[in-house]
């Protein structure tokens, strides 16, 4: 049985012993290990069944700690750190030689962030090393936003889930890298492009890469339920194509009707994109347990966090 507990001391003891612990963040729950332990990092890849070419994100608790594993911070990275850390921004920066290639998929850069979650910040301050922590789910599956999601995935395989409540933001961090000193967006996430551009100006988007991705979340299929899922503009019209199927629908704010819709989930009745993002994964987990034939998701407005939600839903609908 996997222990679910708020005991930070016990979590630290497991991590010091090269074990994995799932940690809460404001985005999703992570599967954490000591970045300097090859034994522990290998356990992440094995437990998630994650390909070794997909780099991990390193979590620390202060900008001062970056000196231990980052060799250079561009000027615009400093501006973004001042604006968004602690928070849901990961930056891909040149690494120091002490960071194992296993963490960075052999790349000369490392993704780093300071999470905005009191429990995990306290844990990090009680460790002598930063933590690599991809999402605590089997590779390609729906990310976990509750301790129960992690336990359902890994019960008996994982030593501990550090209980931190439901994740406030509910989708992964936004990832920004730097090419010739200029910021490049590698993954849409909990901080919108508009918010990033308000700090550093116009930013290039390069968020799809199947081979040797620069950052996590760039593969075409990801965040996917087991139930076959579709992303469409008009849910009411689309479900007519499946008259004899049990259909579940995932909607932004307004309910729709059709005879074969057996379950409806609305992410934000008030039409709030931040609330919708926070509820997205938990709702997909719920829909995936209902023995539906298909899930039909409504496209979101293509601005702000709507872009990030559409990105996740689009990757969830890609066929294996």
Give the pLDDT of residue 211.
62
Q: To the nearest whole percent, how much of the chain has pLDDT over 90? A: 88
For residue 261, is pLDDT > 70? yes
pTM of the model: 0.94
For the residues 142-151, what does the mean pLDDT come to? 97
Stretch among 102-111, 136-145, 200-209 having the lowest mean pLDDT: 200-209
Q: Residue 222 pLDDT > 90, yes or no?
A: no
Mean pLDDT of 24-45: 97
Mean of per-residue pLDDT scores for the chain: 94
Interval 52-76 mean pLDDT: 95
pLDDT band at 53 (very low <50, low <70, confident <90, very high): confident
Q: Which residues, other chains included, contact 104 with Cβ-Cβ below 8 Å and sequence gap of 6+?
A: 55, 56, 95, 110
């Amino acid at each position: 049985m996997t222990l679910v507990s708020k005991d930070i001391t016990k979590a630290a003891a497991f991590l010091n012993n090269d074990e994995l612990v799932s940690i809460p963040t404001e985005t999703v729950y992570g599967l954490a290990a000591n970045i300097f332990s090859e034994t522990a990092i290998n356990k992440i890849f094995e437990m998630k069944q994650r390909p070794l070419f997909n780099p991990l994100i390193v979590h620390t608790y202060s900008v001062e700690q970056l000196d231990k594993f980052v060799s250079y911070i561009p000027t615009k990275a400093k501006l973004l750190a001042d604006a968004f850390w602690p928070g849901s921004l990961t930056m891909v920066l040149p690494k120091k030689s002490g960071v194992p290639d296993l963490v960075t998929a052999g790349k000369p850069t490392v993704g780093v962030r300071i999470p905005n979650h009191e429990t995990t910040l306290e844990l990090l301050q009680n460790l002598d090393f930063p933590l690599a922590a991809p999402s605590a789910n089997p590779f390609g599956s729906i990310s976990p936003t509750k301790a129960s999601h992690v336990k359902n995935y890994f019960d008996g395989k994982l030593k501990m889930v550090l209980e931190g409540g439901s994740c406030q933001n509910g989708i992964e961090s936004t990832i920004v890298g730097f090419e010739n000193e200029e910021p490049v967006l590698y993954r849409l996430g909990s901080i919108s492009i508009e918010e990033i551009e308000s700090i550093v100006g116009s930013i290039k988007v390069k968020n799809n890469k199947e081979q040797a991705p620069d950052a996590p979340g760039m593969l075409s299929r990801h965040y996917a339920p087991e139930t076959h899922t579709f992303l469409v503009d008009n849910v009411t019209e689309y479900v007519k194509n499946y008259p004899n199927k049990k259909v579940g629908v995932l909607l932004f704010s307004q309910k729709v009707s059709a005879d074969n819709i057996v379950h409806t989930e609305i992410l934000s009745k008030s039409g709030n994109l931040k609330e919708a993002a926070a509820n997205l994964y938990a709702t997909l987990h719920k829909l995936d347990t209902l023995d539906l034939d298909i899930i039909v998701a409504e496209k979101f407005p293509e601005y702000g966090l709507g872009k990030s939600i559409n990105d996740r839903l689009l990757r969830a609908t890609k066929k294996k």
